[in-house]
Each structure stands twice: as C-alpha cells, then as structure tokens.
Amino acid sequence: MLAPQGDRNRLRIEVLVRFDNRAPLRSIATANRQSEILMIIDCHGHYTTEPKDLSRFRKEQTAAANAKDKTAMPSRASLKMSDDEIRESIEKNQLKLQRERGTNLTIFSPRASGMGHHIGDESVSLEWSQICNDLIARVVSLYPQNFVGVCQLPQSPGVPPKNATGELERCVKELGFIGCNLNPDPSGGYFNSPPLTDKWWYPFYEKMVELDVPAMIHVSGCCNPAMHTTGSYYLNADTMAFMQLILSDLFKDFPTLKLIIPHGGGAVPFHWGRFRGLALNNGRPELTEIIKNNIFFDTCVYHQPGINLLAEVVPADNILFASEMVGAVKGIDPKTGFNFDDTKRYVDAAPKLSAADRQKIFEGNAHRVFGRLKTPAPAKAPG
Amino acid sequence: MLAPQGDRNRLRIEVLVRFDNRAPLRSIATANRQSEILMIIDCHGHYTTEPKDLSRFRKEQTAAANAKDKTAMPSRASLKMSDDEIRESIEKNQLKLQRERGTNLTIFSPRASGMGHHIGDESVSLEWSQICNDLIARVVSLYPQNFVGVCQLPQSPGVPPKNATGELERCVKELGFIGCNLNPDPSGGYFNSPPLTDKWWYPFYEKMVELDVPAMIHVSGCCNPAMHTTGSYYLNADTMAFMQLILSDLFKDFPTLKLIIPHGGGAVPFHWGRFRGLALNNGRPELTEIIKNNIFFDTCVYHQPGINLLAEVVPADNILFASEMVGAVKGIDPKTGFNFDDTKRYVDAAPKLSAADRQKIFEGNAHRVFGRLKTPAPAKAPG
C-alpha cells in the first residue's frame, strides 16, 4: 500500500497528521522491521483439521444421543488418531500458515462449531469435551513452541455452568491449558440461557479467577435455521454478550475476571457510539473505563477498513491479535490476492496504530489476559 | 470539527487526498452549500412521543391479552388523543430537531419497540396495529410537508405473514403510506420464525411488489432477558437478516423487492470481508452485486468512525439517510457536544463521500426505494 517514504512524502505525512489529528503515522516498512522482533501470538485458533476418525466418532455419538440409545454409543477406545495423522493435519495447515504469515504461537482450542453443546445430555457433552481437549493437548505436546491449549467446556442446555468447572480444572492443572471457550448459548441458537451477568454463571467465574484463566465468549454451531453459524450467529452472540456486560456490576464482583469477545467484538466497534450512548444513558461510565481490565476484543475482522475502525475506537490495551485461521472464512480475497483471514496484514497496515500499540496487540496484551501463558522461545522457523 | 477552510487549509486537504488515495475531499463548507439545495429525507423515524393515553390503552390491552380475558379489553373509542396533543408532541420533538438539524422530511412509523408482536394473539396485534397506523396518519395529515407514513404490521408468532397483507393494503391505499416495517422475529427475541427467504414470507412479498412499497426489516421490543432491545437485539436481527438474504435466490423470485436493513446494517459493514468471503465461498457474487437493486442500509450509526466505514465499504447507491431520532440513543455525546443520533453531521463529514454520493444518500435513493414517495415542496422552515 504505502511505499517507504522519501523526504517529500514524509512531509506529506506530517501534513496529513496535523490536519487529521491522527497519531503519528510511521511508514509500514518501519513497522514491519519492528514487528519482526516480536513474539506474535494469535489468541484465537481452532483445530479445524482434525483426524478423520474424530468425525466418525462424533457422528455415531450424535446418532446414539438423538436416539437416546446408550448401547449405540461409540467407545472412546475405538478412536484411531495417530501422531502422524495429527502432524500431517497441523503441518500442512496451521503451521504452514504461521510460517507464511510470520506469526509464532497460536492459542489453540477445539473446533468451535463442533462443540455442539445442544447435542445429547451433559454426559455426552462431557465425554466429547474430554476427547476434544485431550486431542488439543496432543497437538501442544507435539508442537510446544507453536501451540498452547484452551479448552472446550462440557456445557449443556439448562445445566448449571458450575458443572463445567471440573473439566476446566483438569485441562488447566493436568493438561497445562491457559483458558477456555465459554458458550453463552448452549441451546445452539435460541439464546435462552440467563445473561452472562446472572448469578447462574458465578460459580464458573469463581473457578476461572481461582485458576487465573480467561474465557473467550464463543458459541458453537447453530441449529436455528434463521441464523448462519459463522455469518450471523457468532457475531450476534458477541454483540449480545458485550451489551449484557456493560450494564452490569459483574466486574465489581470479579475484578480480575477477563473475558475475550471474539470476531472483533461482533457489531460493537461499528456501533461504538450507540453502546457509549446506551451506557451513559444508563448511568454507566465511558466504555473505555468499563472494559479496561476485563473485556478484550480480538482482531478476527477480515478486511482492512474493519480493522482500521477497531483500532480507531477500541484502546490498543483491549485488543488481542487473532485470525481464527483455517476457520470461518477460508480462501483468498480476489481483491487483495491474500487470504481473507490473514489479519496480521491488516494490523500491520492500520494507520492509527503505533509501534507500541502493535506490540501490545501482537504480544503484550496476551500476557496480561492469559496469566498462565509462559511464552516459549520464539521459533524462527515454526515446526 | 472542521472549520470552513481558508487557502492554507485547502492546500493541506489536497495533500492528504493525494497521499491517502481517497476520493477527492471537498471542503465541508462547499458540501454544506450543496446540501442546502437538497431535500433531506430521513427514512427511519418512529413516533416515540405519542400521546399518553395510547400507553394507557396498550397497558390495558396487554393485561387483558395476558389474562386471556376478552371482556377486560379496552375499547378503541376510549382513546383520548387530541390534535393539540399530537401537535405538541411533534413540534417539541421531531419537528424541532428537523429544523435544528436541517432535514426536511421524515418517513415515519409507529414506535418500533412498541409493536410487541409477541403480545396477545393475531386479533390483538391487528387492533393495536390499526390504532398505531391511524395515529401516524393523523401526524402526516397535520404535517404533510414533514412526514410521510410507514406502517406497523399485525404480525403474530406462528401466524402466516400473508395475514398482514390486509393492513398493509389499507395503509397504502387508504392512508397513503409508502412502506412497512416487517418483523423477522415476532417472538420478541427467540428467532424462531422461518428465515426471510422462506416461502412462508412470499405472499407478503407479492403484496409489497404489487403495491410498490419497500419494507424495513425491524424487530420490536425484546422479551428475552439475554438481549437488550436497542443494544443487541435490533443489531442482531439486522445481521441475521442480511446473512439470510445473501445466500438466497429471493431477489431472483422478486427482482423488484426492496428491503432496508436499518441501524447501518447491524454488524455487516464492520465485517464486510467476512460476508464477502462467505458469499464467494458459497458460489454467490460480490456483495455489491447481490445488494444492488434490493438491499439498502440506513445511516443509524451514532459516531463518525462508524459512518466513515459504512461510506467506505457500502456503495452510496445502497445507503439511505436516517437518524431514528428521539429513539434508541437519546442525549448529547459529551465528546462532541452534539446529539448521538444527529447522523446528518456524520454524513456531512464522511471523507469518502462525494457531493453526488450525498445527494443519493440524502434524497435520491429514497425515491428509488420508496416508489410511492411524492416529495412535497421542501419546507424552508419546518412546521
């Protein structure tokens, strides 16, 4: 986009800055040199290229659950997923993309749309969660420099979130995971759970605080025909969650609780004025004050103007780099020639961000949010 | 924000334009002179300052409906709403703001959050809709230069949309209305209706096409405790609707059907890359092609960066000026000193818009979308 600047162009930039009242705009070449020395952490990756037999197991499990036929449940021992198969699935996909895009570490969790909390009962959800989480642990143990684990939870419609604390604790203490994906709508599209600010969720938050792990608020596959899983359902859950949080006293009750709203915060940055106005009209402080130490947005926004807006309205302290690569929007944008989900390029090019902002977004904030994250030595050539 | 530009500042602007590769930026003073000659049409206004007795009636009607006690239903004849009361409610609010902000005509419908399609049965919804629509007709008859009517529909959960065609036809043919607000979720927050692309809705679209009226896709008050009516529910319905539409062949079946997605299109412009990618991955054309003659976004986005993004990614041909004033976000933004919902200021200042773009957004597109709109002579001093 912007070529390295000569003196004449540099003058132009300064004029632009003065007129437009922006933060000083550095040349992109300089920004890239600086970002090369960072550990770039992608806080939002799912294992979407799982070994085939996992899908066979899930199909059989779902069929048995739907038929309420416990005798038809597949056995966990039947699962055939070799290390070689895992290696191939990762090296051809997520690792390849880390290398190509120049990122170092992905905070990795099971496929979000596959959590399927609405399928079967609590026991089905628990077995499925354990299998998926154990699989993430195997990926992490094969590539400890490139992946760190975040768990899926054994939620189930109508079941108290407290019941998911056991699996959270197992994943953190036994598998070394550093966070979890918390589903605000285990019904899969009907939004009939109590708001995230309801006491219903408090026992789960207590465990999160005790273990010092954050949650990404992330729904799963949508079974409501009115909503498209990755097109509207994900974004709607994000927007819903944010609105619940800003009118509540949740962070008075849990001052160290940290929640990540993925997909750039859903509709929130685009409607920052609406949310600011609603907060102020309800006697709440400015949004920047409300979110300060507790709410973070990721950068899963798949075009340059969207990331520019995010960087303009949300403080850099509250943005975490993420791509959700090999996820919702695969393929190359014919207008740019690059993958839609190559969000590092957009963050690199966002004119409002300083070098210090980028350091926070790519690395610093991840350490603030994920208290258990111990960054391994950066891998020059991932894999 | 930007003072009228002297020569020195004008030079600065030109430098900015060259560097930033934007469309030529005219001085704001020039833009305002040009916009003075326009008829500025606000396509999204609700009568949120209704005479008090309407609220009394609705409370009694709701109580009777909830109690399933037809004998307790208030009589329509009991409603006391004088012309003087209507005049006062309008002149102190919507007309005052039209004058202050320099807009001319508001496309006006009953309070959206008050439609309450989930309350009572179809007969309750019909009576309530007729009362609210008749009230809008009275406003329009008192101020024909400043308001034109759009109707609420007598929808009800599970009831075929076909049943709402009678009231649509009455409003268009007898009251002179030019459009309707179509609720994609009469349940009030559980999204359990068929998608807008389902044949369920087709008889209603047939009537719209026959009458040459567009629909704004607009939900009503939310009775789901997980969602905030104006904070998340409205935006989520907008995002849901857009995603339904772009993967469908609805506009092949109804090439002249026109749908307005309010609130700037919910999350859509912020996630334009996501929606583009999902459309392309599903074998659909570019979004600009899909929306071209059929889908329009309004400008109810309450901060400058949001309107800038909307103007950057959505073609000017598909944007309709709107404010939803005296609506979701009342009050003054302490950072600007102006009302949050004074969206004309944001459109005036959006750097990507040319004078021709603004003419389309403020006036031209409204005539394309509202086939029955006959613009009265612009009122120099509204009221």
Euclidean distance between CA atoms A204 and A186, whole angstroms: 15
Share of chain B above pLDDT 90, in %: 87
- Residue B122 in 3-state DSSP? helix
Share of chain B above pLDDT 70, in %: 88
Q: What is the pLDDT of residue B376?
A: 59
Cβ <8 Å between B19 and A16: yes
Q: Sort strands B151-152 and A180-182 into parallel, antiparallel or unpaired.
A: unpaired
Check pLDDT > 90 for residue A324.
yes
| Mutant choice from B235, B284, B297, B347 vs A, greatest count of A C-beta within 10 A | B235
Lowest mean pLDDT segment, chosen from A31-35, A118-122, B172-176, B225-229: A31-35
Cβ atoms of B239 and A267 closer than 8 Å:
yes
Cβ <8 Å between A226 and B232: no
Tens digits of per-residue pLDDT, B269-285?
A: 999 999 999 999 999 99
Cβ <8 Å between B243 and A224: no
Euclidean distance between CA atoms A243 and A260, whole angstroms: 14
Check pLDDT > 70 for residue A289.
yes
Q: Supply the pTM of this predicted model.
A: 0.90
Chain B nearest-CA distance from A204, in A, is 18
Check pLDDT > 70 for residue A246.
yes
Residues of B in contact with A310 (CB under 8 A): 270
Check pLDDT > 70 for residue A54.
yes
Q: What is the pLDDT of residue B377?
A: 52
Q: Walk me through the domains of chain A, giving residue ranges and CATH numbers.
A: 38-374 (3.20.20.140)
Q: What is the pLDDT of residue B18?
A: 27
Q: What is the pLDDT of residue A375?
A: 75
Residues of B in contact with A333 (CB under 8 A): 273, 276-277
Share of chain A above pLDDT 70, in %: 88
Q: What is the pLDDT of residue A38?
A: 65
What is the mean predicted confidence (pLDDT) over A322-348? 97
Q: Tally Cβ neighbours within 10 Å of residue B383.
A: 15
Q: What is the pLDDT of residue B378?
A: 52
Q: What is the pLDDT of residue B375?
A: 75
Q: Give the nearest partner residue to B301 out of A225, A271, A334, using CB atoms.
A: A271
pLDDT higher for A4 or A130? A130
A190 → chain B, closest CA residue: B190
What is the mean predicted confidence (pLDDT) over A109-124? 98
Euclidean distance between CA atoms A69 and A49, whole angstroms: 29
Instruction: Give which of B206, B122, B204 is closest to B165, Cα–Cα.
Output: B204
Q: Where are the beta strands (DSSP E) in B130-268?
A: 147-149, 151-152, 180-182, 215-217, 259-261
Lowest mean pLDDT segment, chosen from A7-16, A216-225, B50-59, B302-311: A7-16
Q: Which letter does DSSP use for residue B259 in this model?
A: E
Check pLDDT > 70 for residue A348.
yes
* pLDDT mean across residues, chain B: 90
Check pLDDT > 90 for residue B371.
yes
Residue A40 is which amino acid? I
Concerning whether B324 is annotated as a catalytic residue, the answer is yes
Q: What is the pLDDT of residue B215?
A: 99
Partner B, chain A 152-171, Cβ-Cβ below 8 Å: none
Q: Tally Cβ neighbours within 10 Å of residue B124.
A: 21
Q: What is the pLDDT of residue B339?
A: 98
Residues of A in contact with B232 (CB under 8 A): 236, 239-240, 242-244, 267
Tens digits of per-residue pLDDT, A129-146?
A: 999 999 999 999 999 999
- Enter the ipTM: 0.90
Terminus-to-terminus CA distance in chain A, angstroms?
31
Tens digits of per-residue pLDDT, B358-369?
A: 999 999 999 999
Tens digits of per-residue pLDDT, B13-65?
A: 222 222 222 333 334 444 444 444 469 999 999 999 999 999 999 999 999 99
Chain B nearest-CA distance from A77, in A, is 37
B274 → chain A, closest CA residue: A302
| Mutant choice from A303, A325, A333 vs B, greatest count of B C-beta within 10 A | A303
Cβ atoms of B281 and A274 closer than 8 Å:
no
Residues of A in contact with B347 (CB under 8 A): none
Q: Give the nearest partner residue to B193 out of A226, A264, A330, using CB atoms.
A: A226
Q: Give the nearest partner residue to B235 out of A239, A247, A280, using CB atoms.
A: A239
Cβ <8 Å between B340 and A305: no
Q: What is the pLDDT of residue B21?
A: 28
Partner A, chain B 284-303, Cβ-Cβ below 8 Å: 301-303
Chain A nearest-CA distance from B192, in A, is 7
Instruction: Give which of A111, A132, A209 is closest to A169, Cα–Cα.
Output: A209
Instruction: Give which of B358, B276, B266 is closest to B306, Cα–Cα.
Output: B266
Cβ <8 Å between B270 and A267: yes
Check pLDDT > 90 for residue A274.
yes
pLDDT higher for B2 or A122? A122
Confidence grade of residue A376 (pLDDT, cut at 50, 70, 90): low
Q: What is the pLDDT of residue B298?
A: 98
> B50, B167, B324, B363: which one is catalytic?
B324
Check pLDDT > 60 for residue A18.
no
- Residue A224 in 3-state DSSP? coil
A236 → chain B, closest CA residue: B236
Task: Enter the tokens of residue A201.
Answer: 């969720």
Chain B nearest-CA distance from A304, in A, is 8
